[in-house]
Amino acid sequence: AQTVTQSQPEMSVQEAETVTLSCTYDTSESDYYLFWYKQPPSRQMILVIRQEAYKQQNATENRFSVNFQKAAKSFSLKISDSQLGDAAMYFCAYRPANAGGTSYGKLTFGQGTILTVHP
Amino acid sequence: KAGVTQTPRYLIKTRGQQVTLSCSPISGHRSVSWYQQTPGQGLQFLFEYFSETQRNKGNFPGRFSGRQFSNSRSEMNVSTLELGDSALYLCASSSRDTWGYGYTFGSGTRLTVV
């Protein structure tokens, strides 16, 4: 079974600084997708960034980038130039590329990291 | 394009009652998934529907059920409510074209069982 682990229950960062959130996962699949979602107090889960396992190049979306280490099964999120609006719960999630059988509709989530941004 | 809409936003129910939650996916999305979010267990997958058929189910008791209509709107039902069913229930939708891009989530229904 796939598992996703976020070892940092809480993190904090000063506005304009950089912070890295950690995520490790366990799977026997060779092809899969990894995601970082943000959940602000509004409760809606918002996709921040995604990574396809077969692509070695790390994904980047504006101030958000990932460090994807496939062999180590590590997928960390770096937030640069942190803003007050980045404060939220962040979830790492996994999904096999083959979306069939027991994978239909299912994302496996980590426990989340609460990010606080100090002005 | 309208997002995923969940109703109601909040619900308070008494133990033993039943409850029905509704989810309207993004137009054109035929897959709807449901998740339960609690502080202790985190986000757990309940089930997924596609074209009115349940294709996948998580490890939840039979009190949790769902269905999907021909317009892709989905409902989930919890019967004989227990205090432990208090949670945020999230639904997410996707299409064949968006599978690799994760799912689009609604804002959830906060269920409190007293």
- Encode pLDDT of B30-71 as tens digits: 999 999 999 989 999 999 999 999 999 999 999 999 999 999
Strand, coil or helix: A45:
coil
B102, pLDDT greater than 80: no
Q: For the segment B9-20, what is each residue's pLDDT rounded down to a tens digit?
A: 999 999 999 999
Residue B95 has pLDDT above 90, yes or no: no
A33: contact with B, CB 8 A cutoff: yes
Which residue from B48, B90, B106 is facing A105, i.e. has the nearest CB?
B48
- Going by pLDDT thresholds of 50, 70 and 90, the confidence category of residue B98 is low
pLDDT at B99 (0 to 100): 64
List of chain B residues whose C-beta atoms are within 8 Å of the C-beta of residue A99: 99
Q: What is the pLDDT of residue B65?
A: 97
Residue A98 banded pLDDT, cuts 50, 70, 90: confident
Q: Residue B14 in contact with residue B114, Cβ under 8 Å?
A: yes
Integer Rg of chain B from CA: 13
Task: Name the band, by pLDDT with cuts 50, 70 and 90, for residue A2.
Answer: confident
A110:B104 CB<8 A:
no
- The DSSP code sequence of B30-65 is -EEEEEEEETTTEEEEEEEEETTEEEEE-S--TTEE
pLDDT at B19: 98
Please name the residue of chain B whose CA is at the shortest distance from the CA of residue A111: B42
Rounded to 5 degrees, what angle do the CA atoms B65, B66, B71 make? 170
The verdict on A89 touching B (C-beta cutoff 8 Å) is: no
- On whether any CB of chain A is under 8 Å from the CB of B76, the answer is no
* pLDDT at residue A97 in the model: 83
Query: Would an 8 Å CB–CB cutoff place A96 in contact with chain B?
Result: no
In Å, what is the CA distance from B15 to each residue of A11, B18, B19, B39?
A: 37, 8, 11, 20
Please give the residue of chain A at the shortest CA–CA distance from B35.
Answer: A106
User: Element (H or E) spanning A26, and its range?
Assistant: strand A24-26
A28-50: per-residue pLDDT in tens?
988 899 999 999 988 999 999 99
**pLDDT reported for residue A42:** 84
* Pair A73, A27: CB distance under 8 Å: yes
Min CA distance, A96 vs chain B (Å)? 9
The CA distance from A32 to A115, in Å, is 26
DSSP B25: P
Measure B48 CA to nearest chain A CA, in Å: 5
pLDDT of residue A57: 85
User: Hey, are the CB atoms on B43 and A52 less than 8 Å from each other?
Assistant: no
Whether residue A106 and residue B33 make contact (CB cut-off 8 A), yes or no, is: yes
Nearest CB neighbour to B88, from listed A33, A43, A108: A43
Structure-token pair, residue B11: 């619900």
Instruction: Provide the pLDDT for residue B97.
Output: 66
Query: Is the model's pLDDT at B96 over the cut of 90?
Result: no
- What is the rounded average pLDDT for all residues in chain A? 93
Tell me how far apart the alpha carbons of residues B78 and B66 are, in angstroms, rounded to a whole number.
9
Instruction: Among A33, A35, A106, select the one facing B48 at the smallest CB separation.
Output: A106
Please indicate whether, in this complex, the C-beta atoms of B105 and A44 are within 8 angstroms of each other.
yes
Quick check: B50 contacting A, CB < 8 Å? yes
